[in-house]
Amino acid sequence: MFADLKRLSHHAAWRRQLEMLLESTGEGIYGIDLRGRCIFINGPGAAMLGYTPDEVVGRNMHYLIHHSHPDRTLMPVHECRIFKAFREGRGERVDDEVLWRRDGSCFAAQYASYPIRDGQTVVGAVVTFSDISERKQMERALQATQALLERRVQERTARLQSAHDSLRRLSAHLSTLREQERAHIARDIHDELGASFTALQLDLAWLRGQLPGQPALLAHLDRMMEVTRTAMGATRRILNDLRPVVLDHLGLWAALESLLQDLQSRSALDCRYVCPADTERCRLGREAEIAVYRIVQELLTNVQRHAQARSVSMQVRLQGRDLVLSVEDDGVGMQVQAQPHTFGILGMRERARSIGGDLVLDSQPGAGTRARLVLSGVA
């Protein structure tokens, strides 16, 4: 490998090989004795520091190249981690300090210091070091880019959150307007159609009394009166859907019970309602009660249309200061998606959020569906 070494003695050849290896490495390497004085340094290491090897050998390496922190404050010699290798007999690897050049400038350095042992006795340390200024500069650039990216993400998130909050307020406002419009339409239907149907029934009853002995006309008149009664019943159901009178006059819990009773009368569903007395005394406020009523109304409509269930139960209870309302059926169930895209589910959840609540759906195909509405801090 080293052809010119054949002329040297074995010891000299070994020494020459060692010198060539030290000079060929791309890192700086030097050794120190127990007083911290340099006993050897390779050429690349001396050049990295701005010296020749002869200018470094014999000098205390802490005071020569490691005397200060990156902010130029002095580093006491007892804090020198290079010297710890022979003081404590263990290796040190460091990449957060600087080494100082001859011209007074410094560079970010990565170094490793390991004890030199003569048998069991530590006689000094060997230090390898390299200039990692470019790496540190790249790290700082990467950190700056990451900080900029995080700041932009935060700004973007804040804008999206602001837009989301605005949409939520708009949704709540539209729900309020919709309820007001429903109440207005219900009043108009009640005042106009209700009065008209009542007058029509009275007129038909009077007309029936004027037609004795005319069975054909009486039968036709009876059919007209039955159509009128059917129309009045349909109108009452429409009015109740638009604005349940029982909600305004008797409160939420009576309105929910009435909703279940009406569902049972119009379908083959077996309906069950549980609301303890202490829960019935709980009042949520007008807007919250309307929102809860609409959520339950939507849930029961879905049960009737899609669940193919035989029974449905509703339970309301207080749990600490929270109100928990659950609606459960024994129908075909469904696969609940983590991010629902149907407007019905989205609308119910948005109504729940608008009153500080949370609506959770739990369902599996063939296992029925359970909806759980939790309103915090209402008791």
- Residue extents of the structural domains in the chain: 3-131, 135-243, 247-375
Q: Which CATH number fits domain 3-131: 3.90.1580.10, 1.10.1740.10, 3.30.450.20, 3.10.180.10?
A: 3.30.450.20
Check for a shared fold between 3-131 and 247-375: no
pLDDT given for residue 223 in this prediction? 87
pLDDT at 339: 63
pLDDT at position 278, please? 84
Q: What is the CATH number of domain 247-375?
A: 3.30.565.10
Instruction: Collect the ranges in the chain with pLDDT lower than 70.
Output: 1-15, 17-18, 168, 171-172, 179, 186, 190-191, 338-341, 379
Residue 9 pLDDT: 54
Q: State residue 379's pLDDT score.
A: 66
> Residue 118: what pLDDT?
87
Full 3-state SS string of the chain: CCHHHHHCCHHHHHHHHHHHHHHHCCCEEEEEECCCEEEEECHHHHHHHCCCHHHHCCCEHHHHHCCECCCCCECCHHHCCCCHHHHCCCCEEEEEEEEECCCCCEEEEEEEEEEEEECCEEEEEEEEEEECHHHHHHHHHHHHHHHHHHHHHHHHHHHHHHHHHHHHHHHHHHHHHHHHHHHHHHHHHHHHHHHHHHHHHHHHHHHHHCCCCCHHHHHHHHHHHHHHHHHHHHHHHHHHHHCCHHHHHHCHHHHHHHHHHHHHHHCCCEEEEECCHHHHCCCCCHHHHHHHHHHHHHHHHHHHHHHCCCEEEEEEEEECCEEEEEEEECCCCCCCCCCCCCHHHHHHHHHHHHCCEEEEEEECCCCCEEEEEEECCCC
What is the model's pLDDT at position 3? 43
pLDDT of residue 332: 87
Give residue 101's pLDDT: 95
pLDDT value at residue 265:
86
